[in-house]
């Protein structure tokens, strides 16, 4: 995954290609600005030449013999130089700032969209906090780099080129000594940069881990409090934070070495100009004005170069961020053919096996089929693979072997968003979003009318409790629906699944947190709204599934038995024993349901 710095930068440029007009003109104005920035030094040299050489000065040679006019001219040129410098600074600043804003916005949107499209397998390998830190911090680093950092790099390059050229033009014999240090500095910086690169990637990774830990820990704050594990969490944060600190420290230690070295190398250039240039001037081989310009300019060279360490460090940091961001775009995405096919509700599993991350298989050779409009149920011990089966049905994961068909189309050939639009899924752990109740019910189906929302809530036995809330359907339910009880959340999740009038309704333990009376109410309305649509039910409470057309008993990822409630009761097998257990009767074969 590790890429060299230059390649990250090239990739960044490639990414910014659509905005190249902005960054090319910004680069041009930045360069011009560095040129205008050197003008005052040159004008100072001309001023020295004017007052020392008077009638033989450069200005006099150009035809401006009057000393007064010479001074006025100098003043005017200084004003023009400063004016141009300010103007070019304004022009490059707004362009870089513009680019920074466009790029950060586009990068964030595209990265977010990519994460949304990524497969659950690749997504679940990422830590949420780390993704957060990429989408926030790393993009902000890039934004700051474009706003300020890149101009600093141009300053180093531009100043070296301009100062070097002026030196060669005015005094080639000194120029050699001043220009020689430049490649030495650049070489040593590159050597350092190679050394620093992994340190900075390490810093970004450690920062990501801190973010990941914080996000996770804050989500579990209630559990931490109830288990009095505050100290433990603090220690974990301390560990992550210290790792970040150490990573930064390592990088700073090396980075800080660079400045003194560079200063020393530049000093040699200044000394040569001062001493050798002074000697030439005394021997009248060099004009006093030229000597002044050279002295001023070597100083000007020193300034950006002492900053080169910071610039490099910043560049490292930003490229590490860019690399993390670009790596995000390499997460595999769900295949999504564009063919949104309406489905009728026939589901076929053909010898489907599945294992998560190459672990022991969670599903073994499942083969079954439902007709459109049939209601089927899956029961079985916890960990038997019921939710896994539904995750395959929703296309969250692809089977390790075997095939899943909707009508006669294999799931791989279908557009997953297109398919999911036709499925109403209530997951075992429903997730509600910050917002009102109505917004949560119509989530993903914004075209729902208020009447449809109320109808769905009634069918989910939720209307009454909603009406008792202070703001009714406009009540805000807080982050993740934290202002609601478990059973209330489940009923909203059911309403959300049925409001979209799905062809296939899938309920995974959707009533596990409601009381028996509410469950009965939900069951009744489900049998009404379930008419004419395929329904897949998963429930531990068998009363929920006993009316299904077909019940499958899953055991360790395989179908152990199947049939209607009555048929299954006739065999003294897993289902019959589970039923007896729930009815409070004596078990004939407890070993069938207890491992
Ligand atoms: N994301 C995952 N990564 C790895 N293994 C998983 C994952 N989700 C589930 N498993 C494993 O797959 C097996 C089946 O889990 P699944 O959630 O399908 O069981 P279940 O029948 O729904 O159980 P329950 O009744 O408790 O909800 C279990 O052994 C579980 O450990
Ligand atoms: Mg489950």
Over residues 99-131, the pLDDT tens digits come to 999 999 999 999 999 999 998 888 888 878 788
Spatial CB neighbours of 447, under 8 Å, sequence gap ≥ 6: none
The CA 381 to ligand 2 mean position distance, Å, reads: 9
Number of H helices, E strands in the chain: 23, 10
Domains within the chain, CATH numbers bracketed? 5-328 (1.20.1560.10), 347-422+502-592 (3.40.50.300), 431-496 (no CATH)
Cα 382 to ligand 1 centroid, rounded to whole Å: 8
Ligand 1 centroid, distance to 459 Cα (angstroms): 29
For residue 351 the two structure tokens come to: 């010898």
Please report the atom of ligand 1 found closest to the CA of residue 391: 18
CA within 13 Å, CB half, 517: 1
Element (H, E) at 22: helix 20-53
Instruction: Note the pLDDT of residue 456.
Output: 94
Mutate to test the pocket of ligand 1, among 377, 388, 426, 430 (most ligand atoms within 8 A of CB): 388
**According to the model, what pLDDT value does residue 5 have?**
64
| 4 band by pLDDT with thresholds 50, 70 and 90 | low
Ligand positioned closest to the Cα atom of 427: 2
pLDDT band with cut points at 50, 70 and 90 for residue 248: confident
pLDDT of residue 1: 45
Q: For the ranges 22-36, 54-68, 562-576, which has the lowest average pLDDT?
A: 54-68
The mean per-residue pLDDT over the stretch 65-76 comes to: 88
Give pLDDT tens digits for 519-557: 888 888 888 888 889 999 998 889 889 899 999 999 999
Q: How far is the CA of 539 from the centre of ligand 1 (A)?
A: 15
CB atoms near residue 176 (< 10 Å): 12
**Which of 353, 377, 384, 541 has most ligand 1 atoms within 8 Å of CB, for mutation?**
384
Name the residue with the closest Cα to ligand 1, atom 24: 382
Output the ligand 1 site: residues, CB below 6 A: 356, 362, 380, 382-388, 428
Q: What's the pLDDT at 190?
A: 75
* Residue of minimum CA distance from atom 18 in ligand 1: 385
Q: Which of 119, 352, 353, 386 to mutate to test the pocket of ligand 1 (most atoms within 8 A of CB)?
A: 386
Q: Choose from 101-105, 176-180, 587-591 the range with maximum mean pLDDT.
A: 101-105
216: left (phi over 0), alpha (psi -120 to 50) or beta: alpha
CA of 387 to the centre of ligand 2 (A): 4
Candidate of 356, 390, 507 to mutate for ligand 1, largest count of ligand atoms within 8 Å of Cβ: 356
Burial degree of 29 (CB within 10 A; 0-12, 13-18, 19+): buried
**Which residue's alpha carbon is nearest to atom 14 within ligand 1?**
385
Ligand 1 atom 19, closest CA: 383
List, for residues 439-477, the tens digit of each pLDDT value: 999 998 889 999 999 999 999 989 999 999 999 999 998
Question: Which own/partner contact pairs does 263-267 have at CB distance under 8 Å and 24+ positions apart?
Answer: 263/302, 263/306, 265/181, 265/184, 265/185, 265/188, 266/181, 266/185, 266/298, 266/301, 266/302, 266/305, 266/306
445: three-class secondary structure by DSSP: coil
Question: If 0-12 CB within 10 Å is exposed, 13-18 middle and 19+ buried, where does residue 547 land?
Answer: middle
Say how many Å lie between the first and final Cα of the chain, rounded.
44
Cα 388 to averaged position of ligand 2 atoms, centre (Å): 7
* Average pLDDT over every residue of 317-327: 89
Q: In what order do the strands lie in the sheet with 347-354?
A: 363-370, 347-354, 401-406, 409-410
Distance CA 564, CA 552 (A): 9
> Does residue 386 have a pLDDT over 90?
yes
* 317: pLDDT strictly greater than 90: no
Smallest Cα–Cα separation from 500: which of 415, 416, 422? 422
Calculate mean pLDDT across residues 259-279.
85
Q: Are 352 and 402 contacting, i.e. CB atoms less than 8 angstroms apart?
A: yes
**For residue 340, which of 396, 411, 410, 417 has the smallest C-alpha distance?**
417
168-173, Cβ contacts within 8 angstroms, sequence gap of 24 or more: 170/290, 170/293, 170/294, 171/277, 171/280, 171/286, 171/290, 171/294, 173/276, 173/280
Residue in 132, 111, 264, 250 with CA at minimum distance from that of residue 185: 264
Q: What is the mean pLDDT of residues 45-62?
A: 84
Lowest mean pLDDT among 40-54, 163-177, 260-274: 260-274
pLDDT of residue 3: 56
pLDDT greater than 90 at residue 308: no
pLDDT at 324 over 60: yes
Q: Which residue has the tokens 């296309």?
A: 395
DSSP sequence for 54-123: GGGSHHHHTT---HHHHHHHHHHHHHHHHHHHHHHHHHHHHHHHHHHHHHHHHHHHHHHHHHHHB-HHHH
Relative to the CA of 381, which ligand 1 atom is closest? 25
113 within 8 A of 297, measured Cβ to Cβ: no
Radius of gyration of the chain (CA): 36
CA of 335 to the centre of ligand 2 (A): 25
* pLDDT more than 70, % of the chain: 99
Q: How far is the CA of 213 from the centre of ligand 1 (A)?
A: 24
């Amino acid at each position: 995954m590790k890429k060299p710095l230059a390649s990250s930068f090239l990739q960044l440029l490639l990414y910014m290609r659509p905005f190249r007009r902005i960054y090319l003109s910004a680069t041009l104005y930045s360069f011009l600005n560095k040129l205008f920035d050197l003008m005052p030094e040159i004008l100072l040299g001309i001023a020295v030449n004017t007052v020392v050489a008077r009638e033989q000065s450069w200005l006099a040679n150009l035809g401006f013999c009057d000393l007064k006019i010479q001074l006025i001219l100098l003043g005017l040129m200084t004003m023009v130089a400063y004016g141009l410098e300010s103007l070019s600074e304004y022009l490059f600043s707004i362009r870089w700032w513009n680019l920074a804003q466009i790029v950060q916005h586009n990068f964030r949107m595209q990265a977010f969209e990519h994460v949304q499209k990524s497969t659950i397998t690749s997504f679940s390998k990422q830590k949420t906090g780390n993704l957060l830190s990429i989408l926030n911090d790393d993009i902000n680093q890039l934004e700051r780099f474009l706003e300020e950092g890149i101009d600093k790099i141009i300053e180093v390059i531009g100043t070296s080129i301009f100062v070097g050229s002026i030196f060669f033009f005015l005094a080639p014999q000194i120029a050699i000594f001043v220009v020689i240090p430049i490649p030495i500095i650049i070489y040593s910086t590159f050597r350092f940069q190679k050394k620093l690169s992994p340190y900075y990637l390490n810093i970004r990774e450690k920062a990501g881990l801190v973010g990941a830990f914080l996000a996770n820990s804050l989500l579990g704050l209630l559990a931490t409090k109830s288990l009095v594990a505050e100290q433990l969490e603090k220690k974990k944060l301390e560990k992550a934070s210290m790792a970040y600190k150490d990573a930064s420290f390592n990088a700073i230690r090396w980075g800080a070495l660079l400045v003194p070295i560079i200063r020393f190398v530049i000093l040699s250039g200044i000394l040569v100009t001062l001493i050798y240039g002074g000697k030439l001037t005394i021997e009248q081989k060099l004009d006093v004005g030229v000597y002044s310009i050279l002295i001023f300019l070597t100083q000007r060279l020193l300034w950006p170069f002492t900053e080169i360490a910071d610039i490099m460090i910043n560049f490292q940091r930003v490229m590490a961020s860019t690399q993390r961001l670009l790596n995000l775009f390499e997460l595999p995405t769900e295949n999504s053919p564009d063919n949104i096919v309406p489905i009728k509700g026939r589901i076929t599993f053909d010898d489907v096996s599945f294992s998560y991350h190459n672990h022991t298989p969670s599903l073994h050779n499942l083969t079954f089929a439902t007709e459109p409009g049939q209601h089927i149920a899956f029961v079985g011990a916890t960990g038997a693979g019921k939710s896994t089966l539904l995750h395959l049905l929703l296309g969250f994961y692809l089977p390790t072997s075997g095939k899943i068909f909707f009508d006669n189309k294999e799931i791989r050939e279908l557009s997953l968003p297109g398919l999911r639009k036709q499925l109403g899924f209530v997951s075992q752990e429903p997730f509600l979003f910050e917002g009102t109740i109505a917004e949560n019910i119509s989530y993903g189906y914004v075209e729902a009318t208020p009447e449809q929302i109320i109808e769905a809530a009634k069918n989910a036995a939720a209307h009454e409790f909603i009406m008792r809330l202070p703001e009714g359907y406009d009540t805000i339910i807080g982050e993740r629906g934290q202002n609601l009880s478990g059973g209330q959340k489940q009923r909203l999740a059911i309403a959300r699944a049925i409001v979209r009038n799905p062809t296939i309704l899938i309920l995974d333990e959707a009533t596990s947190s409601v009381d028996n009376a509410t469950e009965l109410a939900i069951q009744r309305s489900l049998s009404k709204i379930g008419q004419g649509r395929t329904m897949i039910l998963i429930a531990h409470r068998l009363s929920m599934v006993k009316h299904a057309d077909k019940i499958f008993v899953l055991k360790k990822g395989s179908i152990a038995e199947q049939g209607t409630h009555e048929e299954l009761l006739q065999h003294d097998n897993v289902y019959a024993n589970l039923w007896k257990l729930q009815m409070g009767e004596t078990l004939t074969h407890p070993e069938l349901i207890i491992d």
